[in-house]
Amino acid sequence: MKTIVSFLLMSFFFLNCNTQEELSSISTNELKTLLQNDTIQLLDIRTPEEVKLGSIDKAKFANFFDDDFVQQVSTKFDIEKPIFIYCRSGNRSVKASKLLKPKGYVVINVLGGYNKWRAENK
């Protein structure tokens, strides 16, 4: 029994490590600094209704729920450069990152999404 519990704990640990290694993330404060100093590719994957409520300057839009989401990204972004990606709260951007990464994109998730950005930049 002890062996099985140890095996399950080790499996959980390694699965968590792999998940964290696969997805790079930055805070909204780090994003703000990057936007002030560099030209970056910034992708907003919220719905058009959410975008009407406000957005981060320099962002390009592609609705994650559109059937041609990946194609929209491919026409708007350079695959050779990292894409910083955000949504409303950070959940969809994780899903989108996992969708885009196997296509060859280097994606960086913005933690907390637009909700956190707006709260910090009123």
CATH of the domain at 34: 3.40.250.10
Confirm whether pTM is higher than 0.85: no
The mean of the pLDDT values for the chain is 86
Q: Number of structural domains, the chain?
A: 1
C-beta separation of 88 from 46 below 8 A: yes
Residues whose CB is less than 8 angstroms from the CB of residue 35 and which lie 6 or more positions away in sequence, other chains included: 42, 56, 57, 58
Position 13 in a domain = no
Helix (H, G, I), strand (E, B) or coil at 37: helix
Position 90 in a domain = yes
Write out pLDDT tens, residues 14-55. Answer: 444 444 457 899 999 999 999 998 889 999 999 999 999 999
